[in-house]
Chains A and B, each alone.
Chain A
Amino acid sequence: MSAIIEELDPERRDVELPTDAAPEPDAERPRRAIRSRRPGGPNKRKPGDWLVLAVAVVLGFFIAVPFLLILVNSFKSPADYNTSGPLTLPTEFYFDGIVAFWERVNFPEKLWNSVFISGLVAVFAVLISMFNAFALGIGRVKGRLWIVVLILLANMLPQEVLLYPLYFMFKEAGLYDSQWAVIIIFTVIQSAFGTYLLASVYSTFPRELLEAASLDGASRWQILWRVVYPISRPTLSVLLIFFFIWTWNEFLIPLTFLVSNATQTVPVAITVLQGDRLMDVTTTSASALLGLIPTLVFFLIFQRTLTRGITAGAVK
């Protein structure tokens, strides 16, 4: 996995023109020198600073507490919970809650459903984004502004406004309760965002490379796959990760389209069982734990990409 992070590391440098990426060493050096002499340097911690730190840490604690409570109580028996409350560590490790929920929702199946849907959506949406962006950013087809506006619209709409017609259409097409319905819908929604981002990235693609390839007799299709694709791969992999996680976290459309148990995704399966009679207090806690573990794992794996992506192309 670390290989993926390594690969993503060169940021989006590749698609910038070399002059943009050139650092200015002279401008950087004196500033650093000043920084170490700044009046409130690390050695001058006033009591007020400690107070601010305490406030920040306490707040962090309160934000993390729900996670800790879920973690601790997922391994307790209901009896243990009732006698000693939510705040103590379990008297003994109790896996029945987790096991019961795991078996009840057939968790491996739900995990696979989520991986399958999110994975295919990510790949398809990146492909479509790349084709669209190739025509819009590099081909600069006529009327591209309107196409981009249309695509942006698709991104901003509340999904409710598409919900019933889509429900009807997919029912007619015999794809209701099929994961393909969800895959197709999210391929479109995610690629709307991807097209938008990639088109702006490709519009600054180094022209010399394209011209050189063209002089060598490469066709457009070859240029796309042998020049544009390899050079923009870091951006594409960031998009891939985003699409995967966003699709994983989606709720409304999977809830509507995946009605039978065997097709459901992790968030849907866990949510529809809330309030079920068989869900005692620690089993419910276990269900929340199982719901948050996969995204926590993604976060740890892709942490750097994610934080960079959030601020990607930050307002300049």
Chain B
Amino acid sequence: MSALDTRAATTIEATDAAGGGRRSRRSPAGPEDGLIPGARRSTYWLYLVPGLALLAVIVVVPLVWNVYLTFTEYRGIRPPEWIGLENWVELMGDRVFWTSFGNSIAMILAMVIVPTLLGLLLAAMLFDLIGRKFGGKLASFLRATYYLPQILPAVIAAIVIGWILRPQNGALNQVLEAIGLGDLAHNWLGSPDTALPSLMVIMVWVQLGYPIVIFMAALQRVDPELYEAAELDGANWFQRFRAITLGMIRPEIFVVTLTCTIAALKVFGPVYALTGGGPGTSTIVPAYYAYSEFFQSQQVGYGATIATALTVVIAAVSVLFILAQHRMEKKEAER
């Protein structure tokens, strides 16, 4: 999943790059011509054939098929049976489904809100203070350390922490005992009261490095003279942070929150590897719920409905984010 975030981030950033490219295009020819003169444009379609054919088979057809399945009762063996909106009606009244979305909100807290806020603070700290007063090498080293969990496959990251949280002889419980806090020892991932918070802590650990790296790169853009001017005017560190840093790197904050929100809504691997949605349904998330309906309960129609609902939510969130960003940029331009 760490990979997914990065991918999504770069996607969004590339949007901007693409926009910038279009604006700064200097070529004399109109936008209706290819860049190679002469030959007709329509023959370029040949180059799109393999890519689009594969896209149709692997993405478009399954997507449409999946939406069709949401209107059927299908257990994977006999052909799907049309039942209209029954799955959707059931979904709306399904407590497990709402629990799974409630847990998605917990995941957003752990994968978006906490890492972004903490990431802002740490990036500014590393860049503005540690990088300046203790040298850039130390700042880069700390940045690499914070980023370390991001490079692992999410399931492996989850297994690493899961190992520390083992109930009987796990490292955390043993440490607690060693320092005389044995009463706090706990079956962290196995009891309903601590399973979700433990999972959240794991996700913060996994996610934190990503905003730090993006924000630190963004800060390179900020003119140091701005800080100096503010410092001479008597602004303290926090005032400078609020007035300069936050304003300058707002585009990156948008990118990070959007991509992390999508990742948080999609989270699957760590839940699969650590809790299987349990105990009970205390850590179930939509992606895992859909998976278990597909392959454990064999309720394919219903699983398809959950997956489609998740897709709708992700699409809606993305559109809202992009609109909000657009509006903010407009406001900025008017000022």
A and B bound?
Answer: yes
Residues of A near any B CB (own CB < 8 A) = 17, 31, 34-35, 38-42, 44-45, 49, 52-53, 55-57, 59-60, 63-64, 66-67, 69-70, 73, 81-82, 85-87, 128-129, 131-132, 134-142, 147, 150-167, 169, 184-185, 187-189, 191-193, 195-197, 199-201, 203-205, 207, 210-211, 213-214, 220, 223-224, 242, 245-246, 248-252, 255-256, 266-267, 270-271, 274, 281, 284-285, 287-288, 291-292, 295-296, 298-299, 303, 306-307, 309-316
Query: Can you identify 8 A-B contacts, CB atoms within 8 angstroms?
Result: A41-B133, A69-B164, A140-B35, A156-B11, A157-B59, A207-B29, A211-B36, A314-B221
Say yes or no: A207-B58 contact (C-beta < 8 A), given A59-B122, A310-B217. Answer: no
**Cross-chain contact A132 with B66 (CB below 8 angstroms):** no
**Cross-chain contact B273 with A274 (CB below 8 angstroms):** yes
Say yes or no: A157-B311 contact (C-beta < 8 A), given A135-B47, A184-B58. Answer: yes
Asked if B200 is an interface residue, CB under 8 A from chain A, the answer is: no
Most interface-central of A81, A136, A158, A167 (chain B CB within 10 A): A158
Interface string of B255-289 (1 = CB under 8 A from A): 10000001001101100110000000000001100
Contact of B55 among A82, A138, A150 (CB under 8 A): A150
**Cross-chain contact B21 with A63 (CB below 8 angstroms):** no
Q: Report Cα–Cα, A184/B55, bound state, in Å.
A: 10
Closest-by-CB residue of B relative to A150 is B55
**Cross-chain contact A156 with B218 (CB below 8 angstroms):** no
Q: Report Cα–Cα, A81/B318, bound state, in Å.
A: 48
Q: With both chains docked as a complex, state the minimum distance between the C-beta of A266 and any C-beta of chain B, in angstroms.
A: 8
**Among all A-B residue pairs, the 3 with the closest Cβ atoms:** A139-B44, A200-B18, A165-B62
Most interface-central of B217, B255, B303 (chain A CB within 10 A): B217
Closest-by-CB residue of B relative to A184 is B58
**Cross-chain contact A312 with B163 (CB below 8 angstroms):** no
Interface string of B6-21 (1 = CB under 8 A from A): 1111110110111011
Asked if B3 is an interface residue, CB under 8 A from chain A, the answer is: yes
Say yes or no: A249-B32 contact (C-beta < 8 A), given A56-B126, A139-B47, A316-B16. Answer: no
**Cross-chain contact B3 with A274 (CB below 8 angstroms):** no
Residues of B near any A CB (own CB < 8 A) = 1-4, 6-11, 13-14, 16-18, 20-22, 24-27, 29, 31-39, 41-48, 50-52, 54-55, 57-63, 65-66, 69, 122, 125-126, 129-130, 132-135, 142, 144-146, 148-149, 151-156, 159-164, 166, 169-171, 174-175, 178, 205, 208-210, 213-214, 217-218, 221, 223-225, 228, 231-232, 251-252, 255, 262, 265-266, 268-269, 272-273, 286-287, 290-291, 294-295, 300, 303-304, 306-308, 310-311, 314-315, 318
Q: With both chains docked as a complex, state the minimum distance between the C-beta of A207 and any C-beta of chain B, in angstroms.
A: 5
Complex contacts, A200 vs chain B, CB 8 Å: 14, 17-18, 21
Complex contacts, A60 vs chain B, CB 8 Å: 142, 145-146
**Cross-chain contact A291 with B169 (CB below 8 angstroms):** no
Q: Report Cα–Cα, A258/B315, bound state, in Å.
A: 29
Complex contacts, B269 vs chain A, CB 8 Å: 251-252, 267, 271
**Cross-chain contact A158 with B265 (CB below 8 angstroms):** yes
Q: Report Cα–Cα, A150/B300, bound state, in Å.
A: 26
Q: With both chains docked as a complex, state the minimum distance between the C-beta of B66 and any C-beta of chain A, in angstroms.
A: 5
**Cross-chain contact B156 with A267 (CB below 8 angstroms):** yes
Most interface-central of B2, B66, B133 (chain A CB within 10 A): B133
Complex contacts, A245 vs chain B, CB 8 Å: 3
Complex contacts, B61 vs chain A, CB 8 Å: 165, 169
Q: Report Cα–Cα, A129/B57, bound state, in Å.
A: 17
Q: A45-B133, A160-B291 are in contact. List 9 more A-B contacts (CB 8 A).
A: A39-B228, A128-B54, A135-B47, A154-B59, A162-B58, A207-B29, A207-B35, A256-B295, A281-B163
